[in-house]
Amino acid sequence: MKWSATGTRFTSDSGILRLMDDLGKALSGSAKKYMLGGGNPALIPEVAALWRGQMRELLDDPSRFDGVVGRYDAPQGRPAFLRAVAGMLNREYGWNLTEENIAVTNGSQAAFFMLFNLLAGPDADGSRRRILFPLMPEYIGYRDQAIRPGDFVACEPEIERIDDHMHKYHVDFDSLEVGHDIAAICVSRPTNPTGNVLTDEEIARLDHLAGSMAIPLIVDNAYGAPFPDIIFTDTRPTWNENVVLSMSLSKIGLPSLRTGLLVACPDIVQAVGAMNAIVSLANGTVGQALTERLFETGEILRISREVVRPFYRGRCEHALGCVRSSFAERFPWSVHRPEGSLFLWLWFPDLPGTTTQLYERLKERDVIVVPGRYFSFGRNEPWEHAEQCIRVNYAMDRADVEHGIAVIAEEVARMWSE
């Protein structure tokens, strides 16, 4: 089959394709796999029970159920759901949102595809605009979303060494340039893959830079406050007419229902609604219907703060303990200070070889991670640091995480001894 240039771009090898392919094959195979690579959230019993209860209520109300599954919603989203989300955010943060500030998408991955290609690329006058990522490493799912190669530009971080085995990334504002070719600034908070949380001061500086250039600041809040609230530092979400805040129902336990949310100015909301209509007519309704009343009552905040966040904090502390005991002083290593999300970001300074090679060795032993190179993009030359890092998901069963980290330690030690 002969593909177009766009077809070739989207069918070529990509990090997100490899990640999802590994996940699918691992789940379908007979051999035990230790899935420390994907972004799948844990199955938390109390949260799963909540979704089953909401589904039973929906099934027990025939007219409501028939309306949910038997009718298209508006391309922007289910109006009652939009009002419920806006109302919850207004009560929680004092924002002045209406349903005109909320758009639903078929997952946040689709939202970013639309946002990036709405904003970046050739202008009518022939000039070209790009998306700026001010803090590498960044989410693997962004990497291949631009229709045209070269629509992204990115910056390396400042690396703060906290101690011998822990570090933290910061935006290097001294080197950050926001030129007239930049269409938007984009960050994730907490950051996928590192678990980094940009400080309120860093977000304020980025917001000021974006505002001074009359471009949006896009903040991917898939793991952040107020839901699912997998965030371990004292921060507060920021929104104004210049900020596009992305949220998702995935990490609170509904990943397969593909329900993303954008909080933005009406112009962006309308544009996303228009793209929804062209690409998919309308959004899936089940995720909106299951959670609508939880937004109205605030129950989604309670379950996030009292159940989801403590669960992941405990899993994070367990995984850190496994790393410290398995790695010890066997070889050089450092973990990014975990401040949120589902991941540990492990750095092996001066590693003989690359973590892409480590990934292949681990896969042979049925341990799946993601090599760091896929989280670095938008740069003209390779970044050695990224080739020394891996992302590890600690949301899985405790015993699986413990085994997987022990195998990682064994293989890294072997790479040093060979």
Average pLDDT of the residues in 271-277:
95
Band (21; pLDDT cuts 50, 70, 90): low
Token pair, residue 103, equals: 């758009």
DSSP H helices in 305-366: 309-327, 355-364
If you average pLDDT over residues 111-137, what whole number do you get? 93
Residue 2 in this model has a pLDDT that exceeds 90: no
Burial 185-195 (b: 16+ CB within 10 A, else e): bbbbbbbbbbb
- Average pLDDT of the chain is 93
Task: Decide if 196 contacts 190 (C-beta within 8 A).
Answer: yes
Confidence of residue 26 (pLDDT cuts 50, 70, 90): low
Do residues 226 and 235 touch, judged by C-beta distance below 8 A? no
Above 80 in pLDDT, residue 180? yes
Q: Over the stretch 327-367, which tens digit does the pLDDT of each residue have? A: 999 999 999 999 999 999 999 999 999 999 999 999 999 99
pLDDT at 104 over 70: yes
What per-residue confidence (pLDDT) applies to 20? Answer: 64
Average pLDDT of 148-172?
95
- The alpha carbon dihedral of 164, 169, 172, 177 has a sign of positive
User: Residue written as tokens 């830079």?
Assistant: 209
Q: What is the mean pLDDT of residues 391-415?
A: 97
Q: What is the pLDDT of residues 217-257, one digit of tens each?
A: 999 999 999 999 999 999 999 999 999 999 999 999 999 99
- pLDDT band with cut points at 50, 70 and 90 for residue 129: very high
pLDDT of res. 123: 84
Boundaries of every domain in the chain: 5-47+304-417, 73-302
- Taking only the tens place, the pLDDT of each residue in 182-191 is 999 999 999 9
The CATH class of the 5-47+304-417 domain is alpha beta
Confidence band of 32 (pLDDT split at 50, 70, 90): confident
Q: What is the pTM of this model?
A: 0.94
Q: Which amino acid appears at position 257 of this protein?
A: L
CA pair distance 342, 43, nearest whole angstrom:
13
On whether the 73-302 domain is CATH 3.40.50.970, my answer is no
pLDDT score at 1? 85
Label residue 54 by pLDDT band (50, 70, 90): very high
